[in-house]
Chains A and B, each alone.
Chain A
Amino acid sequence: MTVAAGLIVPSNRSAHAGASGASRRSFPMLQGGLSGTITVGYADELGAKPKYVEQAKATVEEANPDATVEIDLRQVAGGDYTTQLLLALDSGEGPDVIHIGGDRIGALADAGYIEPLDAYVAEWADWESQYPAPVKGGVTYGDSVWAIPYGLDTRFLYFRRDIFEQVGLGRDWEPANVAGILEAATAVKEAGLEDVLPYALYAGTAGEGGTTAHGFAPVLFAYGGAMQDEAGKWIGASPAIDKALAYYEEAWQTSELVPAEILTTAQPWKPMREGMGSGRVALLFEGGWVYGGYQTAAAAGDIELDDIGYLLFPTEDGGPSLTIGGPGTVWYINAASQNKDLAWEFIKAFNTPEITAALNLEDPHPVARTDAAALPEFQENAYLVAATESLESAVFLPNDARLNDVGTVVQSVTGAIAAGDATAAEASADFLEAMRRELGEENVATVTA
């Protein structure tokens, strides 16, 4: 696991330097004289990105009058788009510029779908000066850089201050340790508030990728566990895995803190997130980006933003102190592209401090560029500053091609607990067996106390 320490929170000095630097460079340093046509493919269900993509397209076409940038926008959920895209890439097709989650870098690189960007970033001064080492590390696989990030992922333990105040936990609640989350959820449940779900904890296939990143991983890390050992083997059994699954059993079965109906809705993350916004859900560990929806709803007068608290995840022995980080959605160049130079020009044109700051203000993520994080409007946003600072405590999921397979196992065992089909002990045994089956026995390690 990688802990991103000392990440991109600029000092005042660098903030000024970054801000002035950004204003000096209104246009990216683009190469001119390129020709041909490229396609930029991306999915955007929320609609935040298109104007910035169009802006980058205009910049590239202005600098290269003989070039055309075609945009292939799909207004679908990311998961649906990924499958379509992978099928296209597998056929040697797909857009020249690809835009999907950075958690798949290893698997995409191994498949030969994406182009290493080492030669490009070597000639791009911003890469050296504006992207901190942990950000670079998040998009490096093997010895190569494969993607350019713009908004990083962080996550928070959201809680409803109004509900917590009502049940006597106080508006400024902080758990003393990871068990404190379950204690708080129990207090909410015992208060018997009408239409309030104590806790929403991702589990099963219905939670998709969130089951690992928002559900299992933070609990595992909270108990001192890891997903891989130092030799790079995946851990199939450990005391931390046992404890994490026992946590699931307590939440889903023993104390029934997570109502079963939370996972039986279509796209369960929607009611979970909406529930936190509306006060129906009291506790939820979720992506930092959902706060953008709460900000928008608050601006429209629909909710009180002050009622939504956010904290880092606690550990077994201490209070809020960790989160799950990630490179976010990133830009890649298709290895089969016939016009990689032009594709790179588009990526550069998109990843300016202005665009990345504006986009991450609108769709709140810690911004990847130091100079963008230093812009005054970014610094004035308390949530974004906190989100950026949270990355100092972030654990990044392994940038490994088999992460997808591990996610499948995590979904299977947590889903079995959530459905009441397995106890924690049975799930632990199933976890080891399934990891060995999926990854091969030689790739799975067991850790004893």
Chain B
Amino acid sequence: MTAVPVAPHDAPGPPRPNRSTAWRRNRAYVAGLSPTAVLLALFFVAPAGWAVYASFTNRALLGMAAREPRFVGLENYRKLFSDPDLATVLLNSLAFVVGSAMIGQFLLGLALALLLDHAENRRYRLTPLVYAAVLLAWVNPSVIAGFQWVAMFDFYYGSLNEVLNRFGFASVNWLGDYPMLSVIIVNVWRGTAFAMLIFLGALRTIPSQVYEAARIDGAGAARRFWDHTLPNLRHIAVLVLLSVTMSTFGTFILIQTLTNGGPGIQTETIALYAYHQAFRDYDIAYGSTIAVVMLAINFAFAGFYLRVSRPKV
């Protein structure tokens, strides 16, 4: 990939437009972006702001705190950081994000994209079927996907144990003995299509001449992948990683359907914990506090990824 030429700091730049010229030049962009900005403000900034506000109160859905919520300062944050379950919940979240987003969806998505790209170039007949299979998992609503896998994992009536039993093996308590692995497998199954599609799109932007030249130079498949494919995918890869990490960090419906955080709190991730506090225990303030901490962690993720992906000049 070619580096973008950057002007030295002391070089004279183009003449600076005056304000009205700048407005005239940019108004189309402003008009185009306004609906998005309004929607973001309405559905992201405002709820996030409300969550920050609620985290400083004792707001609840039941009891006196529902009738007369009051300001409690940092009490919810004190409670959260002394919560004995917090460490487990964070470790669960880390395992879930690393296992299903970073290792699972990202790497599997890249592998599938490379295979499908190769298969399309060779015009293999079964390529559309593989496409459909991966995409079907993705378009499935989370709740339905969750229940499908509950039906597979169920100890008594599940398809997986049925298959095991037919081959003479004992039933496995998938959701009891391997709960985190089970939810990771399901999330990888469901979410890999997104990474695959983005990588597939990116692969098609790499000029074929690059590979042809490499082939002429005698580079094998592995060499071409390391020297040409990967560098060209770098920025897209960071965006994919950022996207799947953040969406996985906030995933809870799938886990809720599969294990609801159990056994004990072995699959209780921070998103599910926030949901449980707010809508199972009806402690809106504490749930909001957890959500605010999640938001901060997401910002940290985003900052880290964007820093890593910034072109080195």
Q: CB within 8 Å of B: which residues of A? A: 83, 86-87, 90, 104, 106-108, 110-113, 204-206, 260-261, 263-266, 271, 401-402, 404-405, 408, 412, 415-416, 418-419, 421, 430, 433-434, 437
Contact = CB atoms under 8 A, between A and B. Distances in A.
Contact of A418 (B82, B84, B179, B263): B263
Contact of B62 (A110, A260, A415): A110
Given A87-B61, A107-B62, A111-B66, A260 B173 contact: yes
A264 B259 contact: yes
Contacts of A421: 264, 266
Interface-centre pick from A87, A113, A419, A434 (highest chain B CB count, 10 A): A419
B175 to A, nearest CB: 4
- The 7 A-B residue pairs with the shortest CB-CB distance, nearest first, are A419-B264, A111-B66, A264-B176, A261-B155, A107-B62, A419-B263, A264-B175
A264 B176 CA distance: 5
Interface string B272-284: 0000100111100
B67 A260 contact: no
Contacts of B260: 205-206, 266
Contacts of A90: 61, 66
B147 interface: yes
Contact of A271 (B156, B176, B276, B281): B156
Contacts of B243: none
Given A264-B155, A264-B175, A264-B179, A204 B264 contact: yes
Nearest to A414: B264
A110 B67 contact: yes
Nearest to B68: A112
A204 B263 contact: yes
A107 B66 CA distance: 9
B268 to A, nearest CB: 8
B62 A108 contact: yes
A274 to B, nearest CB: 10
Contacts of B150: 265-266
Contacts of A112: 66-67
Contacts of A261: 155-156, 173, 176
26 contacts: A83-B280, A83-B282, A106-B63, A107-B62, A111-B61, A204-B262, A205-B261, A205-B280, A260-B263, A263-B176, A263-B262, A266-B147, A266-B150, A266-B257, A401-B62, A401-B63, A404-B282, A408-B280, A412-B265, A416-B264, A416-B265, A418-B264, A419-B265, A419-B266, A430-B84, A434-B84
Contacts of B279: 83
A310 to B, nearest CB: 24
A265 B155 contact: yes
A106 B62 CA distance: 9
B276 A205 contact: yes
Contacts of B60: 111
B64 interface: yes
A187 to B, nearest CB: 23
A263 B263 contact: yes
B156 A265 contact: yes
B67 A111 contact: yes
Contact of B262 (A87, A111, A205): A205
Contacts of B176: 260-261, 263-264
Contact of A265 (B82, B85, B154, B264): B154
Contacts of B281: 404-405, 408
B234 interface: no
A113 B60 CA distance: 13
B79 interface: yes
A260 to B, nearest CB: 5
Contact of A415 (B179, B258, B265): B265
A261 B179 CA distance: 11
Nearest to B66: A111
B156 to A, nearest CB: 6
Contacts of B280: 83, 205, 408
Contacts of A433: 84
A265 B151 CA distance: 9
A110 B276 contact: no
Contacts of A86: 61-62, 282
Contacts of B66: 90, 110-113
Contacts of A437: 79, 82-83
A205 B260 CA distance: 8
Contacts of A108: 62
A433 B62 CA distance: 23
A408 B265 CA distance: 13
A14 to B, nearest CB: 38
A90 B62 CA distance: 9
Contacts of A408: 280-281
Nearest to A195: B156
Contacts of A106: 63
Contacts of B61: 83, 86-87, 90, 111
Nearest to B174: A264
Contacts of B156: 261, 265, 271
A418 B84 CA distance: 18
A271 B156 CA distance: 9
B19 to A, nearest CB: 45
Nearest to A437: B79
A252 to B, nearest CB: 10
Given A111-B66, A263-B263, A264-B175, 18 more contacts: A86-B62, A111-B61, A112-B66, A204-B262, A204-B264, A205-B265, A205-B276, A260-B176, A264-B262, A266-B258, A412-B85, A415-B263, A415-B265, A416-B264, A418-B264, A419-B266, A421-B264, A437-B83
Given A264-B179, A404-B282, A437-B79, A415 B63 contact: no
A434 B66 CA distance: 22
Interface-centre pick from B62, B64, B84, B259 (highest chain A CB count, 10 A): B62
Interface-centre pick from B64, B82, B262 (highest chain A CB count, 10 A): B262
Interface-centre pick from A110, A430, A433 (highest chain B CB count, 10 A): A110
A346 to B, nearest CB: 24
A112 B61 CA distance: 11
A404 B62 contact: yes
Contacts of B154: 265-266
A416 B268 CA distance: 13
Given A86-B282, A261-B156, A111 B63 contact: yes
A401 B64 contact: yes
A108 to B, nearest CB: 7
B85 to A, nearest CB: 8
Contacts of B83: 437
A104 B63 CA distance: 9
A107 B283 CA distance: 12
